[in-house]
A and B are shown apart, each in its own frame.
Chain A
């Protein structure tokens, strides 16, 4: 029979270990944030945000084209991926209780775990091969394909949470099914869906692997969807693995910019969930 003291000790030890686990999560987090901020902050300047990269050895230069490239490709990916993803989610919520719905739901969950580099190969096959060259469009397609499954599942959950009594109330007013679905149910779930979208965008902005051989890279400004394009993440990668110290410094600053972008999207997603009508509870 285990003595009471031993049991108490075990309890204390295990609780302590679990608390240590919290530290285990905290240390790398603080380390990453601290380094990115401390090493990257000094490189921040108007020039860094707006200039083109300079060749090795020359001072100055920046990530202007990479930043624009990321915003451009993520924006294009949103145009494709957000409606398709949320739309699939609405399907699952409204008509998803059958064999087709179950299959779609299963696929959406499993596809959201596919490695992003594999999606890059798919986008390569779909866009780069037919076009015979790398392009921003290929990168956007890869990002869009990544957004769709996760967004479908998230949207479905958010729409299912809307109380059934609202649907009843609307139908009892003689409103048609589709109007009820779109103007009442979906409208009530809007805040949550927007949050899910912003988080999907944040994840897309941080992707590197699928862009490596779809959008490739570009040393200059590019606003055309059919040309290769620089991106923030690929720029960080290239700077980081280079043998040059000043490029390493640029990698940190670019990483800081990326974290600020991702952080901004995350904060925005939380801010938008407030119900903005006066006095709403």
Chain B
């Protein structure tokens, strides 16, 4: 079953306006660590301003898949990536694309909040710019990013405090604000709430709803309930293979593959 939607060919009769082109397209993506094929021939597409949840049991390759989307595997000497990852139609894995610069367009938030400990809240948010040598007064941008991350009200009086003085949930939203400050178009989130308590998790999920208005989001999660709550589309990975992908509601209520059904009904994982 192909999950890639293609624009209607010119000249045909359509009953609906042409669907928007895909923001992200993945074609035959393979990730190898030495001899281990961690992601096998994954192919999918994500529409702009939607949320794709990537689910599956531990070790199924979902994080590996996510990290291939912003070329984080470039940093692992034993990793090899084949296939295409297209953002706005352009393949990221070509020589003309600089991985460093692409990461300013495809941002990432990690599982554990990782604010820079020697910097204040404000400095952390602006870090993506300051570290890249972009000088100037970033105060407005910091405020905007913190508002987008739903953190402004809580930290507006503490901007020059150590980033590590915030709670875990606040630190994670700070990490999101930091990722948003460089104004990416796609946001990758690797189990962003798994290290947080339920209340903080709820805030993050609310945030994802708001963020999808302006960003395209791909989120890896080990919680099916979370996937059901936040995403428009869901992709199920099992042992490196993309087993099935489709609208979230369909995946959870009427999956097409047996393995998908087994997973979402809790038979394993």
In the complex, A touching B (Cβ < 8 A) = yes
In angstroms, how far is the closest chain A Cβ from the Cβ of B17? 35
Complex CA–CA separation, A116 to B59 (angstroms): 54
- Contact across chains for A174 and B110 when beta carbons are under 8 A apart: no
Answer whether residue B128 sits at the interface, using C-beta atoms and an 8 A cutoff: yes
Specify the chain A residue showing the minimal Cβ separation from B160.
A278
| Shortest beta-carbon distance from A191 to chain B in Å | 8
Contact with A along B208-226 (1 / 0, CB 8 A): 0000000000000000000
Q: A188 interface residue, CB < 8 Å from B?
A: yes
Who on chain A is nearest to B165 by CB?
Answer: A279
Q: Flag if A165 contacts B112 (CB, 8 Å).
A: yes
Residues 155-179 (chain B) with a chain A CB within 8 angstroms = 158, 160-162, 164-165, 175, 178-179
* Of A169, A174, A281, the contact of B116 (CB 8 Å cutoff): A169
Across-interface contacts of B158 in A (CB, < 8 A): 279
Decide if A280 touches B164 in the complex (CB within 8 Å). Answer: yes
A172 and B116 in contact (CB under 8 A), knowing A180-B131, A183-B131, A184-B131? Answer: no
| In the complex, A187 has a CB within 8 A of chain B | yes
B75 within 8 A of A: yes
Q: Which of B70, B116, B175 has the most CB of A within 10 A?
A: B116
Q: A179: CB under 8 A from chain B? A: yes
User: Does B165 lie within 8 Å of A172, measured CB to CB?
Assistant: no
A3 CB-CB contact with B under 8 Å: no
Q: Is B162 within 8 A of A278, CB to CB?
A: yes
Chain A nearest CB from B178 CB (Å) reads 7
Check if B103 sits within 8 Å of A173, measured CB to CB. yes
Report A157-185 residues with CB < 8 Å from chain B CB. Answer: 163, 165-166, 168-177, 179-180, 183-184
- Whether, in the assembled complex, A277 has its beta carbon less than 8 Å from a beta carbon of chain B, the answer is yes
Bound form: Cα–Cα A166–B104 in Å:
17
**B114/A174 in contact, CB under 8 A:** no
Contact status A278-B165, CB under 8 Å: yes
- Is B127 an interface position by the 8 A CB rule? yes
Q: Report B-chain residues with C-beta under 8 Å of the C-beta of A180.
A: 131
Contact A166 B114 (CB under 8 A): yes
Instruction: State whether the Cβ of A275 lies closer than 8 Å to any Cβ in chain B.
Output: yes
CA of A165 to CA of B117, assembled, Å: 12
Closest to A182 in B: B131
Question: For residue B70, which residue of chain A has the nearest CB?
Answer: A172
Q: Is A50 an interface residue (CB 8 A)?
A: no
The answer to whether B162 touches A174, judged by C-beta atoms less than 8 angstroms apart, is no
Q: How many A-B residue pairs have CB under 8 A?
A: 95
CA distance in complex: A169, B112 (Å):
10
**Docked CA distance A1–B167 (Å):** 59
CB distance from A82 to the nearest CB of B (A): 20
Complex: how many Å from CA A278 to CA B122? 13
Of B100, B118, B178, which one neighbours A188 at CB under 8 angstroms?
B118
| Known contacts A172-B107, A173-B104, A179-B132; A275 and B179 CB within 8 A of each other | no
Closest-CB distance, A53 to chain B (whole angstroms)? 46
Q: CA separation between A184 and B112, bound complex, in Å?
A: 17
Other-chain residue from A171, A175, A190, A278 in contact with B118 (beta carbon distance below 8 A): A190
Instruction: Give the docked Cα–Cα distance between A184 and B115 (Å).
Output: 11
* Cα(A188)–Cα(B127), bound, Å: 14
Query: Could you tell me if B131 and A165 are in contact, using CB atoms closer than 8 angstroms?
Result: no
What are the interface flags for B37-63 relative to A under an 8 Å C-beta threshold, 1 for contact and 0 otherwise? 000000000000000000000000000
Contact B162 A277 (CB under 8 A): yes
Assess the B75–A171 pair: CB atoms within 8 A: yes
Which residues of B lie under 8 Å from residue A177 when comparing CB positions?
A: 100
Partner of A281, one of B108, B127, B165, B175: B165
B131 touches A179 (CB 8 A): yes
Q: Which one of A169, A171, A183, A278 contacts B175 once the chains associate, using CB atoms below 8 Å?
A: A169
- The answer to the question of B207 belonging to the interface, with a C-beta cut-off of 8 Å to chain A, is no
Nearest Cβ on chain A to B160's Cβ, whole angstroms: 7
For chain B, residues 116 to 141, give those with C-beta under 8 angstroms from any C-beta of chain A.
116-120, 127-128, 131-133
> Smallest distance from the beta carbon of A195 to chain B beta carbons, Å?
15
Q: Which of A232-281 contact B (CB under 8 A)?
A: 275, 277-281
* Interface flag for B186 (CB, 8 Å): no
Q: How far is the CA of A281 from the CA of B103 in the complex (A)?
A: 30
B72 touches A174 (CB 8 A): no
B101 at the binding interface (Cβ < 8 Å):
yes
Q: 8 pairs across A/B with beta carbons < 8 Å?
A: A166-B116, A173-B103, A174-B104, A175-B128, A177-B100, A179-B132, A179-B133, A277-B165
Q: Top 8 A-B pairs ranked by shortest CB distance?
A: A279-B165, A280-B162, A277-B162, A174-B104, A173-B128, A174-B103, A172-B108, A165-B114
